[in-house]
């Protein structure tokens, strides 16, 4: 398979689904729907939904049926970006090469757009569950998995810890703990949800969850490396900001070379998790390798 073609085809499918889950609004609150769509349809990599669909593929699941869950994951990811970019948080002006939501609209609208996307994600999940009554218990587990990964025991807790750690000296353990919550939890949940809904066995789900946990760590290490070594134009946002903000990052605590080695070792280990799945896990395999060479 050619990863570039695969990613581009999947992104098209996901973008179409997102457009359908969040059509243009009307009525008194229309402005918030515009802001939600501005950020959601701004053309991200769609990594979380792609991981979710690829995990369903790995267990020979029905990709189409998993799409609402994939869409909900992207909605949750986008809400978190909108809120993280706010002046009271990371105060970022650019995202995906465009003004951030609060710059394009205003702070109040951006706060509400994030709230609206987070809520819409659970609405999409509930609607999907309603359409598949025979799989109710799997949907419940998926929603619990995603809610836990997104909430105070996951992403929200990680963003809190990340803000508190700014300007503080950090150990490797602290950096790992923060990133496991802030970024890792939702990436792992994306893989796990796909495996669950795709109908994987308990053993499959466990192996793919382990892959997902490693994927989350590799993603964060390479994300930190891109902030040190990446090109601002390709990233769609300024680079070098972590150092300026004294953020807790892998290169900062272990150095660039050691961080690169760590990422490579984790990819090798993630590939071992995928062994039982043979050819069906080829997208997940290539996605892990891709993290090492990505430029955005």
Q: Provide the Cα torsion 185, 191, 195, 198; round to 10°.
A: 120
Q: Under a CB-based contact definition with an 8 Å cutoff, are residues 70 and 143 in contact? A: no
Q: Under a CB-based contact definition with an 8 Å cutoff, are residues 108 and 94 in contact? A: no
Does position 40 interact with its own copies (CB under 8 A)? The reply is no
Q: Binding segment for its own copies among 54-62, 140-148, 251-259, 278-286 (CB under 8 A)?
A: 140-148
Binding mask 178-217 for its own copies (x = CB under 8 A): x--x------------------------------------
Which residue, 8 or 144, has its beta carbon nearer to its own copies? Answer: 144
Total Cβ atoms within 10 A of residue 265: 12
Residue among 7, 14, 18, 33 that touches its own copies (CB under 8 A): 33
Which residue, 12 or 153, has its beta carbon nearer to its own copies? Answer: 153
Buried/exposed 90-123: b ≥16 CB within 10 Å, e otherwise:
bebeebbebebbbbbbeeebbbbbbebbbebbbe
Q: Under a CB-based contact definition with an 8 Å cutoff, are residues 296 and 43 in contact? A: no
Q: Provide the Cα torsion 82, 226, 160, 181; round to 10°.
A: 100
Does position 171 interact with its own copies (CB under 8 A)? The reply is no
DSSP calls for 46-105: -HHHHHHHHHHHHTT--HHHHHHHHHHHHHHHHHHHHHHTSTTTT--SEETTEE-HHHHS
What is the end-to-end Cα distance of the chain in Å, rounded? 22
Residue among 3, 163, 228, 258 that touches its own copies (CB under 8 A): 163
Which residue, 185 or 259, has its beta carbon nearer to its own copies? Answer: 185
Does position 99 interact with its own copies (CB under 8 A)? The reply is no
Residue among 2, 5, 24, 27 that touches its own copies (CB under 8 A): 27
Q: How far, CA to CA in Å, does 47 sit from each of 100, 129, 273?
A: 19, 23, 19
Which residue, 109 or 222, has its beta carbon nearer to its own copies? Answer: 109
Instruction: Report in angstroms how near the CB of residue 35 gets to its own copies at its nearest.
Output: 9
Residue 184 DSSP one-character state: I
Does position 164 interact with its own copies (CB under 8 A)? The reply is yes
Does position 97 interact with its own copies (CB under 8 A)? The reply is no
Does position 88 interact with its own copies (CB under 8 A)? The reply is yes
Please give the residue ranges that form the binding site for its own copies (CB under 8 A). 25, 27-29, 31-33, 36, 79-80, 83, 86, 88-89, 106-109, 111-112, 114-116, 118-120, 122-123, 125-127, 129-130, 133, 136-137, 139-141, 143-144, 147-148, 150-153, 156-161, 163-164, 174, 177-178, 181
């Amino acid at each position: 398979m050619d990863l570039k073609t695969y990613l581009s085809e999947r992104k098209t499918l996901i973008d179409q689904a997102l457009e359908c889950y969040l059509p243009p609004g009307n009525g008194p609150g229309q402005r918030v729907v515009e802001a939600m769509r501005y950020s959601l349809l701004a053309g991200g990599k769609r990594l979380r939904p792609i991981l979710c669909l690829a995990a369903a593929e790995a267990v020979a699941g029905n990709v189409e049926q998993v799409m609402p869950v994939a869409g909900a994951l992207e909605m949750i990811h986008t809400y978190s970006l909108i809120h993280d970019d706010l002046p009271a948080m990371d105060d970022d002006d650019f995202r995906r090469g465009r003004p951030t939501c609060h710059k394009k609209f205003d702070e109040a609208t951006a706060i509400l757009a994030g709230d609206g996307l987070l809520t819409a994600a659970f609405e999409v999940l509930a609607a999907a569950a309603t359409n598949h009554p025979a799989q109710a218990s799997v949907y419940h587990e998926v929603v619990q998995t995603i809610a836990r990964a997104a909430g105070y025991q996951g992403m929200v807790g990680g963003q809190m810890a990340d803000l508190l750690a700014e300007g503080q000296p950090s150990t490797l353990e602290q950096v790992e703990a923060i990133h496991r919550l802030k970024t890792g939890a939702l990436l792992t949940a994306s893989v796990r949800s796909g495996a669950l809904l795709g109908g994987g066995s308990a053993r499959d789900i466990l192996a793919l969850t382990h892959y997902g946990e490693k994927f989350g760590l590799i993603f964060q290490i390479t994300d930190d490396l891109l902030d040190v070594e990446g090109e601002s134009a390709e990233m769609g946002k300024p680079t070098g900001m972590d150092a300026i903000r004294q953020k807790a990052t892998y290169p900062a605590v272990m150095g660039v070379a050691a961080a690169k080695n760590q990422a490579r070792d984790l990819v090798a280990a993630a590939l071992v998790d995928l062994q039982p799945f043979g050819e069906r896990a080829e997208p997940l395999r290539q996605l892990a390798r891709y993290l090492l060479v990505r430029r955005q």
